[in-house]
Amino acid sequence: MEFSQIATIAGKEFWDRIRNRWVLAVSLVFTVFALSIAYFGAAQQGAVGFRSIEVTIASLVSLVIYLIPLIALLLGFDAIVGERERGSLDLLLSMPITRGELLLGKYLGLAGALAFSTVVGFGLVGIVLSAQLDLNALFHYFGFMLSSVLLGCAFLSLAVMLSVFAADRTRASGMAIAMWFFFVLVFDLLLLGVLVVTAGQWGGEALPYMLLLNPADVFRILNIFSLEDVRTLYGLSTVFPPSLARPWLLGLVMLAWIAAPLAIASWRFRR
C-alpha cells in the first residue's frame, strides 16, 4: 500500500468539496441548526435563551441523528459508481494505483470533508457558547462533536460500500435512502415491536447488544449516557446496562462500523 497514492486521491476529493462549497454549506447548516437549538430550543415551553448544556446536547443529538447519516450517505453513495458511470474509472485504474488505495483515498478525502464541516459547524457554536459553559460542559460538548464525526464516518463507510455494490448511480441513491430509513427510522421501531409483540419474552436480554448493530443508536447512547439529567428522558437507551456503556467501548464499536463496511467494499471492489 502506497500512502502517496491514497493521499493524492484523498486530497482531490477533499479539495473538490471545498471548491464546490459543499463544506461551507454543510458547516453553515450545522451552525444555524445548533444555534437555533441552543437558544430557541425551549420556545415551546415559553422561554427563549440558553438553558443548560445537557438539554442542548440532548436536542442536538436528536437532530444530528437524522441529519448526519443523511448527509454522509448523500456524500458517499456515488464515490465509485459515479466514476464508473461517467467513464473515468478505467483511466484511474490504469494508473500505478491499487483498487484498495483508490477506495481508501476516496473514503478518507470525503471523510475529511465531512469531519471538517462537522468540527467547524459545531465548533463555531461551541465557541459562542463557551462563555456560558464550565470545563465539564465543554468536555461534554467536545464529546458530542467527536461522536458526531464518528457517526458521519460510519455512515460514509456504508455509503462507499453501496457505491461499490450498486450497478448504477440511480440504484445507489435508492439504496442510500433505504439505508437511511432503515437505520434512522425503522430499526428502533422494529426492536420495540419485537419487545411488545413478545411481551418482553424475547429480546429483552439481547436488546442492548442489538442496539450496537445500529451506529445511530451507538451515537445516541454515547451522548445520552454521559448526561445524568437526560438519561431518564430517553426510553430505549436507558435499558442499556452500565457495563456496556463505556465510552471507549462504544467508540470501538463505532470504529468497527467504520472499518467493516470499508473492508467489505474493498473485498468486493477487488473482484
- Alpha carbon 158 to its chain's center: 10
Smallest distance, Å, CB 261 to another protein? 24
169 binds another protein (CB under 8 A): no
**Cα gap 37→62, rounded to integer Å:** 11
Residue closest to 8 by CA, chosen among 108, 80, 91: 108
The interface with another protein within residues 10-69 (CB under 8 A) comprises: 12, 16, 19-20
**Cα gap 247→154, rounded to integer Å:** 16
- Selected binder of another protein within 25, 32, 43, 93 (CB under 8 A): 93
Nearer to another protein, 88 or 198 (CB): 88
Give me 46's grid cell. 415559553
Nearer to another protein, 94 or 243 (CB): 94
Nearer to another protein, 97 or 124 (CB): 97
**Cα gap 203→190, rounded to integer Å:** 11
Which residues lie below 8 Å from residue 149, measured CB to CB, with a gap of 6+?
Answer: 114, 115, 118, 119
Q: Judged by CB under 8 A, which stretch of 43-51, 89-97, 127-135, 155-163 contacts another protein?
A: 89-97
Contact 257, 237 (CB under 8 A): no
168 binds another protein (CB under 8 A): no
91 binds another protein (CB under 8 A): yes
Applying CB under 8 A, the residues found at the interface with another protein are: 2, 4-5, 8-9, 12, 16, 19-20, 86-88, 90-97
